[in-house]
Amino acid sequence: MVDKMDYTPLRIPLGPVHPALKEPISFRVTVRKEEIVDVDVQLGHVHRGIESLAESRNLIQTLYLVERICGICSHSHTTCFTQALEEIGGIKPSWRALYLRTLIFELERMHSHLFLLGIMAYEIGFDTLFMFTWHARENVLDLFEEITGNRIHHSMNTIGGVRWDLSLHMVEKINDSLKEMEKSIKYIEEVFQDKTVEERLCGVGVLGYNEARELCVVGPTARGSGVSMDIRRDYPYAAYSELKESFSVVLRNSADACARTEVRIFELFESINIIRTILDKLPNGAISTGISVLKLMSKIPEGETVSIVEAPRGELLYFVKTNGKEGLLRLKVRTPTIPNVLGLKPMLIGCEIADIPVTAASIDPCMACANRITVINQDKGEARVINWENLRRRGKKQ
């Protein structure tokens, strides 16, 4: 009798300031009974206008600005940006510099994945695991602090190389720390196989293979749906072309929150392998070009290029256009969270309200990265949206 009643859909606004996720994001969820029938994700609450700010600053100032796009994957942003500048300027960093860049990159991936595993545990109400994971994460932050002097924004990259070298003493220390971390990650893996975790994560937020391909989701979200893509393997940058044997791409086919969590856990072991290989193979040599950065900056000519890296959350793309006068004409950043947030809609439809935090956390959203604005003409109330036809016409004109 109750099931035959016609329920009118109810719209529930969630956010932007809410206790589940620490960053401002707003959902407009339409529910019928407990079931979600429609989701509208609104971004733009932390839009800081970084791309337009970059156009008014010089290249070195922009290097520090792009680092502050995101506090979790800051090294990915600077690597991507310096790679683009080095390509335009024809500067070749030494192999030692590239290896050190890769080392920090993998440590950052470990820090980011452990961060997310903790958040996942928190969202399913498993606070002990949350505390344990974050305790393991502090080891990575200690290594960052000893290598670069900073816990979060490392400022490791500069044009033509890196800023800090690695001593033999540090190599030993990293090896010791890796052993300790491997032990705790194995323990975390065991706890994640627990029945309560499985019950809470399996079958929640399913994004099938075809939908994942259509929405172009990237990174662990795509790999959790069985899409085999990894920029480290497909378009190797930094020192990854020499490290191909030391890692494999982790794939899962069940396409739910559990699969995405598993991908991240096993990527941690891959990262440990990569770091060990780096420490073994670390070549000797200078870590930078030896020329002052200001001189290097003034020599970068006018030009444009695209640079891609595999950030902890997936593919990160930079389009950089320099003006030849130490500045930028255009900077375009496409962060991995933008395609991944689009995947939230098919994931959430059919789920229950209580699944929203788990599903949202399982794509590892980074709102600081993913903010865009829509220009609205206030008098007419029209939003300036460009459709595919117009975009193509504009592209042909230029």
Partner 1 sequence: MRAAARSRIKSPWLFHLNTGSCAGCDIEIVAALTPRYDVERLGCILVGSPRHADVLLVTGPVTRQMLPRFVRVYEQVPEPKAVVAIGACATSGSPFIGSQMIEGPPDKIIPVDIYVAGCPPRPEAIVRGVVTAVKTKFG
Query: Does residue 354 belong to the site contacting partner 1 (CB under 8 A)?
Result: no
The Cα 33–Cα 221 span in angstroms is: 29
Q: DSSP character for 332? A: E
Interface residue with partner 1 among 30, 35, 37, 53 (CB under 8 A) is 53
Report how far Cα 78 is from the mean position of its chain's Cα atoms. 13
Query: Does residue 183 belong to the site contacting partner 1 (CB under 8 A)?
Result: no
Report the b/e string of 267-301 with b at 16+ CB within 10 A. bbbbbbbbbebbbeebeeeebbbeeebeebbeebe
Of 93-101, 149-157, 190-198, 292-300: span binding partner 1 (CB under 8 A): 149-157
Interface residue with partner 1 among 37, 38, 44, 146 (CB under 8 A) is 44
Of 52-60, 101-109, 318-326, 331-339: span binding partner 1 (CB under 8 A): 52-60
Query: Does residue 383 belong to the site contacting partner 1 (CB under 8 A)?
Result: no
Please tell me the count of residues contacting partner 1 according to CB under 8 A. Answer: 41
Query: Does residue 47 belong to the site contacting partner 1 (CB under 8 A)?
Result: yes
Interface residue with partner 1 among 14, 204, 366, 370 (CB under 8 A) is 366
Q: Which lies closer to partner 1 via its Cβ, residue 22 or residue 384?
A: 22
Dihedral sign, CA of 94, 95, 96, 99? Answer: positive
Interface residue with partner 1 among 32, 68, 299, 394 (CB under 8 A) is 68
Interface residue with partner 1 among 7, 13, 32, 56 (CB under 8 A) is 56
The Cα 216–Cα 339 span in angstroms is: 6
Of 204-212, 236-244, 278-286, 362-370: span binding partner 1 (CB under 8 A): 362-370
Shortest gap between Cβ of 40 and partner 1 (angstroms)? 16
Interface residue with partner 1 among 153, 163, 173, 330 (CB under 8 A) is 153
The Cα 263–Cα 368 span in angstroms is: 23
Query: Does residue 74 belong to the site contacting partner 1 (CB under 8 A)?
Result: yes
String marking each residue 112-131 x if it binds partner 1 according to CB under 8 A: ---x--x-----------xx
- Exposure of 312 by Cβ count < 10 A (0-12 exposed, 13-18 middle, 19+ buried)? buried
Nearest to 361 by CA among 119, 112, 118, 40: 119
Q: Provide, for the chain, the percentages of residues in helix, strand and coil under a 3-state DSSP scheme, each rounded to the nearest 5.
A: 50, 15, 35
What is the largest distance, in Å, between two alpha-carbon atoms of the chain? 80
Query: Does residue 48 belong to the site contacting partner 1 (CB under 8 A)?
Result: yes
Query: Does residue 226 belong to the site contacting partner 1 (CB under 8 A)?
Result: no
The Cα 24–Cα 19 span in angstroms is: 10
Query: Does residue 376 belong to the site contacting partner 1 (CB under 8 A)?
Result: no
Q: How many CA atoms lie within 13 A of 270 on its CB side?
A: 22
Q: Which lies closer to partner 1 via its Cβ, residue 96 or residue 109?
A: 109
Query: Does residue 151 belong to the site contacting partner 1 (CB under 8 A)?
Result: yes
Shortest gap between Cβ of 206 and partner 1 (angstroms)? 27
String marking each residue 12-31 x if it binds partner 1 according to CB under 8 A: ----xxxx--xxx-------
Q: Which residue stretches of the chain are H helix? A: 50-54, 59-67, 74-89, 95-123, 127-148, 168-192, 195-201, 209-215, 219-224, 231-234, 257-281, 293-299, 337-342, 344-348, 356-362, 388-397
Q: Is the backbone peptide bond immediately before 16 cis, with ω within 30 degrees of 0? A: yes
Instruction: Please give the residue ranges that form the binding site for partner 1 (CB under 8 A).
Output: 16-19, 22-24, 44-50, 52-53, 56, 61, 64-65, 68-72, 74, 115, 118, 130-131, 134-135, 138, 141, 151-153, 366-368, 373
